[in-house]
Structure formats: structure tokens, C-alpha cells
Chain A
Amino acid sequence: MTFLNAALLGGLGAMAIPLILHLIRRRRFRVVRWGAMQLLEGVVSERRKTLDFEQILLVATRMAVLGVLALAMARPALTTLGAGFLRGSRTVAIVLDVSYSMGHGGRFEQSLEAAREVLRSLGENDVATLVLAAERPRVVFDSPVGDRDAIAAALEKASPIHGPARLGEAVLAALDVLARVERPVEEVFVLTDSQRLTWEGDTGERASLDIVAEALPLTGREGVADGAMPVITWIVVPGDGTPPQPFIERIELPRVTRAGERVPIRVRVVSPGAPGRGGTVSVRVDGIERGGTPLPPGGAGEAVVRANIDEPGSHWIEARLVESGARADARLLATLTARERIRALLVDGAPGDEPLGDETSFLRLALTPYGDDGSGGGAPGAADFDVETIAPAALETTELERFDVVVLANVTAVSREAAAALEGFARAGGGVVIFPGDRVAAASWNRDLGGLLPAALGERRTATGDPLGVRVAARREVGQRHAALGSLSSADLAGVGVRSWLALDVADRDATVVLAMETGEPFLVERRSGRGRVMLLATACDDDWSNLPTRPAYLPMMQQTLLHASTGAAAAQTLRPGEPIVLELPLEEAGRAAVVRLPDGQVVEGVTARGLEGALLEYRDTWLPGLYTVRIADESPAYFAVNADRAESDPAELSPSTLVERVEARGFDCVVGVGGVATALGRRRHGLEIWRPLVWLVTALLLIELVLEQWIGRGGFARSARRSR
């Protein structure tokens, strides 16, 4: 136990007052010449045995009142930490949440003030460290330091960054630092806000509190009492009520497109606060303004900007809310790869001599609408596909690596060798598109290409009733567009009728149904196979089984399906912080150095591509959101966009009382607001203050004194004994 106002312990001397008063009163008595002596003697005789004891009891109670009152005024605190503190040897870790939400509503300023207050509480022999909690914890001082100015300077440099805070990991990092020094008292102060995301975790993320609690051998208070664990205090700073601002949630666009394509860029804006007065979304491609479009009324919704991507190669797209200035979440990056030509191998299972008589003639026409030689009159998008058609028998001898995508159209069966080649092709990132037909031996396919097929091939089915056949509809998740469809919509598919198809069984396969028929049966199914993609259509690619080839949707659908299937090998270029940049290069590029330009302008040189099967260039330090540019020698740059988690812009908060309840349930301490820091410090420094219960004790003693006096006046023990008799 220790005392915050030890000087007031002198007040314990006041305990003597009742005793002195008692003695004085006994000595300075009055003399009364009395008549009714026999009555008085009778009374005194009756209570002779207990009168003195009752007096002692009363005086003792009065002494206790003053004694406990003096104790309470000296502010005693019970703690095992007290001894350590008195020896002046604390190790303190300040974990400062620098997530994006902290920059809103004055939270970060409040946290800094709280951190300064913690710093001011450090004694001469105390040491401290600082951990900044962002997407990845940053330990500012690997070993705790006693230089408070250095810690204060580091605090001043800190600022909220655009991203979430992994508070749990940050606290664990702080505990690691504390474990490096042997001090009797270890304390961690976690400064954060009340954002729901921080406390309850995002999709796939565990809540910070759980991470810390589960990492500790004992619950908070048990561990502290045991001396085995540092004291962890969560200091929660509430916002100042500033309403949240609209932000860009995502950009939707195909990962790969063809050079010269006009790409729809869909920008989704969310307004978590009250509906705004509208706004404008501006889009830049490779830093060049490509126009803006107004948002729907209310300032939220989807804005679509269409932009031509003329040059092949990597492109970066930036969407921003014009009215929101430089706010980080009013800006979002995306990347896009434009390909000049896509090499497609068509394996025709039903060749024919007549015009449009073979299986792949419609498909070939759709892929090269202006002719195979690329002399399509200079129209945009002309000759995007280099198409080569072979018979199934030639599949075994064809070097599939020369192609981006292989199409199997009404092929009866494939040999085991061909199947193995196709699987290897897909694993390496190639695209495989399969169209059934009347020649397909489903059982053979299922047997030999079962590992590749997105769905098991079933029996052939035929539409009855409607001569047009069964209709097809786009099947999409709410708010999501499947990249395989590009800009194709349900309206475009309105006139498509399927007369005959194969039943596709997607059970137990990691496949996605992209399109379905109105009967609910799968129509277009996709599956990842290795790094590649396999697409399977339920019907033939010619007009034997459906009217699809004669519909306007056929051309974009076929082009988009093949394009999408061929993007498996393309590196993911829109990343989350911490996700590594991976660039695949031809094997001969192995050993070549690349230069990575970071969002803050810093340039990292000498990043080397490592070669195994192919050459792989990898850069892992992508914690800073923004645009990363990777360039090898004089080649065109590859762009990678690192976007902070948009969930940080979700202003949903937990109430302070809920937070305190949750934290304390885990055995940790929790205070709300900068004002609570002093309380927390006092508690940490000296333990649990017990002046309140002492004041209650004083009140109780006063009550006891009152009752005792009344009881003694009424006869005390003698009366009680008489009654019991």
C-alpha cells in the first residue's frame, strides 16, 4: 500500500482527540450535591461491570472515525506495483493507433495529449518505448529509452496514415519490447479510438482485444496480480462529433483489356453520414485527366467514366472526389493491363467444308471480325486475337505455351497426353475455354479432364415448348460484376435462346457460375486451375444448339470470355498494404535488377528477379498506400496500386460504456477520454485507490457511533442482558 498524500497521514494524530477529550472531561467534572443518591447508586451498581467497557468502545469508535478519515485523506492505494514504482523503475510502452480513423474528429490530437501525459508521468529511472499501430506495427524504439524528449519528438512526427491499425499485433510488439528489459513494473498504454472496426475486427481479422488476451498466459488482472504480466491500459479517445465524409469504396474495371478498348471505369462512392449535396468523380488514367461525372443525388452511388486505353502495357487509374480535396479516402487507385494481341488456339472437334459449317467458324469470326490478317480497316480493336485452328489430333503436338488461351470446341475426347498438357498449360497461367457439342463424350471428359473441368459434364438436355429455347441471364453477386462478362449485361443476353445443352454439375468443385439459364442450371462456369482459368459453357459455340452466334451479344461475350480466361497469368496489380508486388518475367529476365518507385517518391534500386520455372520479381515492403512503379531497364513500367482498407472509413463506433465493459471483462483497464488518463496513471502508479471505500467506512463508523451512543444511553449491555433474561 502507498499513499498519494502521505503528508496527510499526520492526520492520524487526530485519533488521540477523542481519548484526550474523554480524559479531560473525566478530569474536569462538575460537582453536584445530590439527594437521590440511592437511585443513582442503584443505576451505577447495575452497570458497574460494563460502564467502562462501553466508554472504551465509544471512544475507540470515535478514534476509528478520525483515523479512517485521515487515512482516506492520505489517498491510500493498494497494489503490488506500488513498491516497484517507489523504486522508480517502470518500463512503459505507448501504443499509438495511427489508423486513418484516428485522423477524424480530433481523435489523434487527443491521443497525442494522452501520450504526453503518460510521458510526463515517467520518473527519472523509468524507460519507455513507442509503437505506432498501423497495418503493420512500427516499433519506434527497439529498446526502451529514458530520453523523454526523444519519445516526445517521435510522437510529434507521428500522424494518422491511410489504413487500418492492427492494434492487437502492435500491443504484442510492445510486449516483446518490454520483455527485453527486466523491470519490476511494466505498463502498456494503448491509445486508440472507439471505431467498431478496431474493436470487433474486419472480415477475417480477429478483434484486437482477443489477439492480446489470447496471447497472454493469464487474464489481465490475474497476470498483474501474479506479477507475471505488464499492466495494459486501453485509453479510448472519442471523436468530437464531426460528421463522416463520403469516400470512394472501390473501382470496378477489368484487370486486363485490349489496347484501344474503351473501358468502363465504375467508381462506387459511399456517404456514411447524412446525404450530401452531390459531387463529382474525376478519373485520371496514367495521370491524365479523363473527365468527370456527377454522382447521383445524395452524394453516393456509382459513377461511370469510360476511358480509352490506347497503349498496350500497364496503366494506373486514379478516381477522386473533386469536392473532398486531398482527403486520403476521397482517392482510390487501380491498375489495368492492356494487351495488344491475344493468342488463341481453337481446337475444332467438328470441322466442315461449307462456309460457317465447322464448329469454330462463328467463334473465329467473333474473335477476328475484320479478318485474320489484321487488315480490318484500321478499326479500333481490330485483329486483337491471333487465332490458330487445329484438329483435336494435333493437340498433342502443339506447343501450347505459344498461346494465351486454348479453346476446345465440340471435341469428342482428349488423349491422356493432351489432357496432361492442358493441365500444365492452365497451371502455368494459361486460359482454357471449353464448348460442348454433339460429339462430346462426356464420360471420357469427366475421366480424363476431371481435374481441369469446372463442372462435371452431364447428359444432353433439350428445350421443349419454346422453339427459341431456354433463356440465359447474367448471374451476379449483389454489387459485383464478374470480370468474365466485362460490360455485358442481362439486357444484352435478352434474346439468347438455348435449345440444347449439357447438364453441368458444379458440386464439390471450387467453381463460379458466371451465367445461368432461367431454369437455374449453370450456363457459364469458371474455375481457377493453378494460376490459369478454365471456362466452360453449357452449349456449343456454333448455332447448332443455340441462337447465340446470331445474337449481338455473341461477339463481346466470346471476346470477353477468352480475354478473361487469358488473364490468369497476369499479376494482381491492385493490392492491399503489405501484400507483395509480384511480377512474372520470362526466364531469361532472371537476375535483372528492377527499380521500384514508392508512393512517397522514394526509389528502391536493385530489386532482383529470381528465376525458378520463370523469373519472379518480388517487392514486399508495400505498407504505404499509393502507386508503386516497377521498371526494368528501359522497358515500360508496371504499375501496382496499394489501397488502404476502405473499412477504415466506416465511422461506426462502439459506445464508451460498451468498450469499458469489454476491456474490463478481459481483465484490462480502460479509461475514456484524455481526462481519464490521470485516473489511469494514478491507478497504475499507485495501484487501486481505496479512499472511496474508506469514506464509506467513515460514514458507517459515524453511524455506529451514533447507534452506540444511543444504545449506551439506553442501558447498553446491562439492558441487553436484562432483556435476554
Chain B
Amino acid sequence: MNTTDETRPLLDPEVLQRISRLDLVARQVVEGTLSGLHRSPFHGFSVEFLQHRPYVRGDDLRHLDWKVLARTDRHFVRQYEDETNLRATILLDASGSMAYASRSVSKLDYSVRLAAALAYLLIEQQDSVGLLAFDREPRKLLPARSGRRQLRLLLDELERVSPGGETSLAGVLHALVPRIPRRGLILVLTDALDDVTELLNALAHVRSAHHEVILLHVLDRREVDFDFDRWTSFESLETLGRRILVDPAQVRRTYRERFERFREELRQGCSRHHVDLASIVTDRPYDEALASFLTSRGGRE
């Protein structure tokens, strides 16, 4: 869609999993993604003109200053007040359930790379980006800043993220609201395997603080399809000793129905609270996942 067939294999999660440097991954993903996009869907909240800056790929052509182009034959875009002040905070779910991987890429690995790509994209747009990894409790909060150094710090922090215990996304969101006083964008990468009602309440809390929220619902293909073919003991990734022995064929349909109910509940809740929700399955190439998300987001504007 946004990438050529030649570049597609390079953006496959299985391939990128082998690249250890997150900055390379992020750049690869973002460049692959943006090569097909006309403009970035992220922008600030002001409409007061501030200054010109050189055009970079992905900028909205609507902001290209045609008069300058006519006079100088150089590409400049018009920047508005506070546009540089987009403050995005990436919330990365690092709970045990995110460690599930039916193939080589776990949901956490996938989320880390997606977060890196998003951070790269936003920093490239001169925005401020912060990061908070969490499981039951928030881990280290990296406040939102812009610039290359911030990107380096973000990527370093992302590389250090490892799966932890049980999820409490709702609690983390509630705790986060007072710690981010200025309104901004909250990007949540999670499998949302938590109490949906509590999660939706927390999202409502975040929204009440005038933050824009994007929930990237990261799922594994097998969590969706439940296509196990023999008796299986499912052991919890979050709680030790919690296990179920079952014939998957016997419960597959019921599981799928329940899973679909869960997703629908989440989808309706997010819609109700004006939270952007994007479901991403980890077998999907990063660029495709990112592009589809960005495209849909761009379409909403």
C-alpha cells in the first residue's frame, strides 16, 4: 500500500526482529511508511503563524508556502504557534501477557519497534515525545521533549524494556494524568487484556484532562484465531501456576466469540470516549500497520 514490493520483506516483523539497533528499525519503518504518505497526520494544536522551516518529506503539502517557492524556488512550510509543542507520550504495556509470541515476534517486541518508529516520526517532525513503560506499576517516565538527543534516550529506554508481571493499564492511566499537566497526545501500545470497564474509565479520565488518546491494540494472530490443534496446557505469562488444560477444538468457537465480544466492547468504549483505536496483529508488517493507522487517522481530520 505504502511501500513497494521490493522493500516489503525488509519491513517484515520477522526480518526487523533480527536488527538489534532500534534507530535503524525505526528509520526503516518510518521512511518506508512515509514514502507513500502525502503528509503526517500529527500536528500541533495552534493556528497562529510562527515561522517557515524547510520542507521535509511527509509534511502536509497544504502548509507548503507557495509564494516562497515561487520567489526563491525553495520549499518551505509554514509553521504555526505551538505546533512544535505537540507533546506525545508513548505508553508501552510491558506486562507479562505482552510477552506472548506464537512466532518469533512477541507482542512486546512488536510494540517496542512500533513505538520506536512512532518516536522517530514525531521527533523528525520536531515534536516532543515522552515514554512510559508499565506493567502493574508505571516504570520510569521519560518526559516529552524534542530533538535528536531525546530520540536517543527514547530508543535506549525502549531497548531496555522487558516483560514484567500482571497488567494494570487502568491504574497506570489514572496515575499518569496528574503527571502530564499540559495537554498532549497519549499513544498507548497494549494488548488491553485487562478489565475493559476499568480501562475505559481510565481512558475517560485521560480524555477529561484534554489529552488526545490513541490506543494501539496489539494482538497475536493466535490470540485472535485460537487455532491450536491438540490438547494444550495454557499457562499464564503473568501469574505463576495459573494454568488450564483444554482441547482447543472444543472451546475454539466459544473463545472466538468471547474474544470478539471483548474487542467490540473495547471498540465501542473507545468510540464513546473519542479514543482512536487501532488493532494491530503482530504478523502484519510494521510499515503497513503504521501506514494503515496513519492513513485512517489522516482521514479523520
Query: Which residues of A are at the interface with B, using a C-beta cutoff of 8 A?
Result: 25-26, 28-44, 46-47, 51, 54-55, 709, 712-716, 718-719
Is the Cβ of A34 less than 8 Å from the Cβ of B236? yes
> How many angstroms between the C-alpha atoms of A716 and B251 in the bound complex?
9
User: Which residue in chain B gives the minimum CB-CB distance to A54?
Assistant: B250
| B276 proximal to A (CB < 8 A) | no
| B237 proximal to A (CB < 8 A) | yes
13 sample A-B contacts, Cβ–Cβ < 8 Å, listed by A number: A30-B233, A31-B233, A32-B235, A36-B97, A36-B100, A37-B97, A39-B262, A40-B251, A43-B258, A47-B251, A54-B250, A709-B249, A713-B252
> How many angstroms between the C-alpha atoms of A26 and B98 in the bound complex?
28
Is the Cβ of A29 less than 8 Å from the Cβ of B245? yes
Instruction: For chain B, residues 77 to 129, give those with C-beta under 8 angstroms from any C-beta of chain A.
Output: 96-100, 107
Is the Cβ of A36 less than 8 Å from the Cβ of B254? no
Residues of B within 8 A of A715 (CB): 253-254, 257
Is the Cβ of A713 less than 8 Å from the Cβ of B220? no
Which among B231, B236, B237, B250 is the interface contact of A29 at CB below 8 angstroms?
A: B231
Is the Cβ of A26 less than 8 Å from the Cβ of B231? yes
Is the Cβ of B254 less than 8 Å from the Cβ of A718? yes
Residues of A within 8 A of B234 (CB): 32, 34, 37, 40
Which among B220, B233, B258 is the interface contact of A35 at CB below 8 angstroms?
A: B220
User: Which residue in chain A gives the minimum CB-CB distance to B97?
Assistant: A35
Is the Cβ of B258 less than 8 Å from the Cβ of A34? no
B211 to chain A, nearest CB (A): 27
> How many angstroms between the C-alpha atoms of A43 and B245 in the bound complex?
12
User: Which residue in chain B gives the minimum CB-CB distance to A58?
Assistant: B250
User: Which residue in chain A gives the minimum CB-CB distance to B219?
Assistant: A36
| B242 proximal to A (CB < 8 A) | yes
| B232 proximal to A (CB < 8 A) | yes
Residues of B within 8 A of A41 (CB): 244
A450 to chain B, nearest CB (A): 103
User: Which residue in chain B gives the minimum CB-CB distance to A719?
Assistant: B254
User: Which residue in chain A gives the minimum CB-CB distance to B98?
Assistant: A35
A382 to chain B, nearest CB (A): 117
Query: Which residues of B are at the interface with A, using a C-beta cutoff of 8 A?
Result: 96-100, 107, 191, 193, 220, 223, 228, 230-239, 242, 244-247, 249-255, 257-259, 262
Is the Cβ of A30 less than 8 Å from the Cβ of B242? no
Is the Cβ of A36 less than 8 Å from the Cβ of B253? no
A193 to chain B, nearest CB (A): 62
Known: A40-B255, A47-B254, A713-B250. A31 touches B191 (CB 8 A): no
> How many angstroms between the C-alpha atoms of A529 and B73 in the bound complex?
151
Is the Cβ of B233 less than 8 Å from the Cβ of A43? no
Known: A32-B233, A44-B246. A39 touches B238 (CB 8 A): no
- Highest count of chain B CB atoms <10 Å: which of A38, A41, A709: A38
Residues of B within 8 A of A47 (CB): 251, 254
> How many angstroms between the C-alpha atoms of A25 and B191 in the bound complex?
31
- Give the 6 A-B CB pairs with smallest separation, nearest first: A35-B97, A35-B100, A29-B231, A34-B234, A37-B236, A714-B253
Residues of B within 8 A of A709 (CB): 249
> How many angstroms between the C-alpha atoms of A28 and B255 in the bound complex?
22
Residues of B within 8 A of A32 (CB): 228, 232-235
> How many angstroms between the C-alpha atoms of A715 and B251 in the bound complex?
7
Known: A36-B97, A36-B259, A42-B258. A29 touches B230 (CB 8 A): yes
Residues of A within 8 A of B249 (CB): 709, 713
A558 to chain B, nearest CB (A): 110
Is the Cβ of B232 less than 8 Å from the Cβ of A31? yes
Is the Cβ of A44 less than 8 Å from the Cβ of B233? no
Is the Cβ of A28 less than 8 Å from the Cβ of B246? no
Is the Cβ of A33 less than 8 Å from the Cβ of B235? yes
B17 to chain A, nearest CB (A): 18
Is the Cβ of B230 less than 8 Å from the Cβ of A30? yes
A35-B193, A37-B238, A47-B251 provided; 9 other pairs, C-beta below 8 A? A30-B228, A31-B232, A32-B235, A34-B100, A35-B96, A36-B97, A36-B193, A37-B193, A713-B252
User: Which residue in chain A gives the minimum CB-CB distance to B102?
Assistant: A32
Residues of A within 8 A of B257 (CB): 715
A33 to chain B, nearest CB (A): 5
> How many angstroms between the C-alpha atoms of A414 and B191 in the bound complex?
137
Which among A33, A35, A39 is the interface contact of B255 at CB below 8 angstroms?
A: A39
Residues of A within 8 A of B259 (CB): 36, 39
Which among B98, B232, B244, B253 is the interface contact of A713 at CB below 8 angstroms?
A: B253
User: Which residue in chain A gives the minimum CB-CB distance to B228?
Assistant: A32
> How many angstroms between the C-alpha atoms of A112 and B198 in the bound complex?
93
Residues of A within 8 A of B238 (CB): 35, 37
> How many angstroms between the C-alpha atoms of A35 and B223 in the bound complex?
8
> How many angstroms between the C-alpha atoms of A33 and B228 in the bound complex?
13
Residues of A within 8 A of B246 (CB): 40, 44, 51
Is the Cβ of A25 less than 8 Å from the Cβ of B255? no
Residues of B within 8 A of A54 (CB): 250
Is the Cβ of A29 less than 8 Å from the Cβ of B223? no
Is the Cβ of A30 less than 8 Å from the Cβ of B237? no
B262 to chain A, nearest CB (A): 6
B293 to chain A, nearest CB (A): 22
Residues of B within 8 A of A26 (CB): 231, 245
Is the Cβ of A35 less than 8 Å from the Cβ of B191? yes
> How many angstroms between the C-alpha atoms of A28 and B233 in the bound complex?
10
Residues of A within 8 A of B237 (CB): 33-35, 37
> How many angstroms between the C-alpha atoms of A44 and B231 in the bound complex?
14
- Highest count of chain B CB atoms <10 Å: which of A33, A35, A40, A46: A35
User: Which residue in chain B gives the minimum CB-CB distance to A45?
Assistant: B244
Is the Cβ of B235 less than 8 Å from the Cβ of A35? no
A47 to chain B, nearest CB (A): 7
Residues of B within 8 A of A30 (CB): 228, 230-233
> How many angstroms between the C-alpha atoms of A712 and B250 in the bound complex?
6
Residues of B within 8 A of A713 (CB): 249-250, 252-253
> How many angstroms between the C-alpha atoms of A37 and B234 in the bound complex?
8
Is the Cβ of A55 less than 8 Å from the Cβ of B245? no
Is the Cβ of B99 less than 8 Å from the Cβ of A43? no
User: Which residue in chain B gives the minimum CB-CB distance to A34?
Assistant: B234
Residues of A within 8 A of B231 (CB): 25-26, 28-30
> How many angstroms between the C-alpha atoms of A712 and B252 in the bound complex?
10
A46 to chain B, nearest CB (A): 7
B95 to chain A, nearest CB (A): 8
Residues of B within 8 A of A34 (CB): 100, 234-237
A27 to chain B, nearest CB (A): 8
- Highest count of chain A CB atoms <10 Å: which of B97, B237, B253, B257: B253
Residues of B within 8 A of A39 (CB): 193, 255, 258-259, 262
Is the Cβ of A38 less than 8 Å from the Cβ of B233? no
A42 to chain B, nearest CB (A): 6
Is the Cβ of A35 less than 8 Å from the Cβ of B99? yes
> How many angstroms between the C-alpha atoms of A34 and B230 in the bound complex?
15
Is the Cβ of B251 less than 8 Å from the Cβ of A33? no
> How many angstroms between the C-alpha atoms of A609 and B228 in the bound complex?
106
A710 to chain B, nearest CB (A): 9
B224 to chain A, nearest CB (A): 10
Residues of A within 8 A of B250 (CB): 51, 54-55, 712-713, 716
> How many angstroms between the C-alpha atoms of A714 and B252 in the bound complex?
8
> How many angstroms between the C-alpha atoms of A46 and B228 in the bound complex?
20
Is the Cβ of A40 less than 8 Å from the Cβ of B233? no
Residues of B within 8 A of A51 (CB): 246, 250-251
Residues of A within 8 A of B235 (CB): 31-34
> How many angstroms between the C-alpha atoms of A26 and B250 in the bound complex?
13
Residues of A within 8 A of B253 (CB): 713-715
Is the Cβ of B233 less than 8 Å from the Cβ of A36? no
Residues of B within 8 A of A37 (CB): 97, 193, 234, 236-239, 242, 244
B236 to chain A, nearest CB (A): 5
Is the Cβ of B107 less than 8 Å from the Cβ of A35? yes
> How many angstroms between the C-alpha atoms of A44 and B262 in the bound complex?
16
Is the Cβ of B254 less than 8 Å from the Cβ of A29? no
Is the Cβ of A38 less than 8 Å from the Cβ of B193? yes
Is the Cβ of A43 less than 8 Å from the Cβ of B247? no
Is the Cβ of A36 less than 8 Å from the Cβ of B223? yes
User: Which residue in chain A gives the minimum CB-CB distance to B222?
Assistant: A32
> How many angstroms between the C-alpha atoms of A719 and B255 in the bound complex?
12
